Amino acid sequence: MKVLGLITEYNPFHNGHKYHLTVSKATVGATHTIAVMSGNFLQRGEPALTHKWIRAEMAVQEGIDLVIELPVVYACHSAEYFAFGAIALLHKLGIVDAICFGSEEGKLEPLKKIAKTLCQEPLEYKTHLHNKIKEGLPYPKARALALKDFLGYENIDNTISSPNNILGIEYLKALYQLGSSITPFTIQRVQADYHSHQLEGTICSATAIRKFLSTNEETLLLSTFMPEKSYSLLMNSIKSRLAPVFPSSFDQMMLYRLRYLSESTLKDLPDVGEGLENRIKEAAGRAKNYSELLDLIKTKRYTMTRIQRILIHSLLGLSGQALSSMAHEKGPSYARILAFTHKGAELIRLVKSTSSIPLITNINKANIKDCAAQKMLSFDLLATDIYSLGYPGTEHRYGGWDHFVQPYYHR
């Protein structure tokens, strides 16, 4: 048995994901595959297009054996925390042999050298970094130039600014930090750029699919860019009025929440600093919808994704204090199964004896005794309850989905 771990969002599962899965299995020689997948809120601070069980079903229909949910406290966070949470979860299962991630670089060695430098911070690198900061450069630029001087990579700016390279470096950092025996692999991304909005060829980005759905009612074109089973599941969820869910689905809820919260409460949210809480509060009073809210808050200093994550944290009440109470720096405290195949069932039986964290197959029977783990799980349940308020069909907007939707078994 050789177990491959993948870190995913599948929002939704498209041909690029199928390519990544197929090539990753071949590259590693995997017999079994585990996907750690974000739940209903994602790393960019957005709700998923369709709920986590549909996306998990897409995954096992297309070749994943076991889908485990990445807790929302990691899933909707910076690249560093997202990557650490996912890698720590795979590591704690005790059976994963390798991970394989897509990257713009396509070669592992340069990414490993960067990750190792950032983890170990050799004196020479720290000296370069200190000198660049003294010159008045912003930290990201200072870090890039310090890495360039230390490692001698001429085009390092492109390497550390490309989204999948950034995540890849963070995965490698997490492996170093955990002292994990998991072997990393990378494959080059093909065709569509991560942020591309264009539907062309047969492989496009998930961003392009979501953008298309937000502006078009005719969905047949999407069948070119998604595997047949995934496309069918997405269309059925749209027909059932469970999708699509967009940030705009939370317009009124978001404005209410921000108008209600005090500046001091906003200040305690992760990543809020330098008076941003005042800007958010003022924008919430002026904006009439989510799009206007973002436009009023954004600055050169804060990326749009960072602002979006802050807004989701406000919706969840996920403060810095709450994060600390969950001991989130140690990684996920449980592994919750969303979907599996017959080979996934083999993995589940094995994980029960190898995992250092409890396995949850039924939320109603979860035996979670640790207070920090209970707190972490409570935010996953809250995230689902809030997410359900964004369904197009009002008949689906009740709470408690986590308590009655069981993991999907693909026979």
Contacts of residue 363, defined as CB under 8 A and 6 or more positions apart, other chains included, come to 336, 381, 402, 403
Q: Check the annotation: does 348 bind a ligand.
A: no
Q: Check the annotation: does 210 bind a ligand.
A: no
What 8-state DSSP symbol labels residue 261?
S
What 8-state DSSP symbol labels residue 105?
S
Q: Check the annotation: does 331 bind a ligand.
A: no
Q: Check the annotation: does 155 bind a ligand.
A: no
Q: Check the annotation: does 164 bind a ligand.
A: yes
Q: Check the annotation: does 329 bind a ligand.
A: no
Q: Check the annotation: does 189 bind a ligand.
A: yes
Q: Check the annotation: does 12 bind a ligand.
A: yes
Q: Check the annotation: does 342 bind a ligand.
A: no
Q: Check the annotation: does 8 bind a ligand.
A: yes
Bridge partners of 32, per DSSP, are 3
Q: Check the annotation: does 303 bind a ligand.
A: no
**Which H or E element spans position 353?**
helix 342-354
Q: Check the annotation: does 13 bind a ligand.
A: yes
Q: Check the annotation: does 156 bind a ligand.
A: no
d(CA 51, CA 48): 6
**Residue position matching structure tokens 């392009």:** 208
d(CA 37, CA 174): 17
Q: Which residue numbers belong to the known binding site for ATP? A: 7-20, 102, 164, 189
Binding-site residues from annotation: 7-20, 102, 164, 189
